[in-house]
Amino acid sequence: MFIKALSESEIAPGGMRAVELDGREIVVCEYSGAYYAVARACGHAGARLERGALTGWILTCPLHFAQFDIRSGEALSGPVPKAPAGAHPAPRDPALKTSALRTWPARAVSGWIYVDID
């Protein structure tokens, strides 16, 4: 069932916005004229993903920099462990578990974005 989430004017091109729909916390993202809806909490430590960065279709978590594909929810890379002071940034550690994000279909109709929260 598609539910009206927000106006298209509330998301800049290449931007994102958090919404709550029927008790679900979702981030609606715009990429290349299409809209995508993903779970708001990071698949690693639950950070609020709308505070991260959206570069094309890659959503980067603001807490530990895990990355996700907004089109599928796939976890592209795990978190970056904290490096000791003065050291070069630590490499990504594949041993740190990061789950994929849940996704929902989203579409724009007459200036509004709808999300199918099933």
All domains of the chain in start order, with CATH: 2-111 (2.102.10.10)
Report helix, strand or coil for 18: strand
Average pLDDT of adjacent 10-residue blocks, the chain of 118 residues: 96 97 97 97 88 96 91 89 56 68 98 95
* pLDDT at residue 64 in the model: 83
* pLDDT at residue 87 in the model: 53
| pTM of structure | 0.85
Closest CA to 68 of 83, 81, 50: 50
* pLDDT at residue 86 in the model: 59
* pLDDT at residue 43 in the model: 80
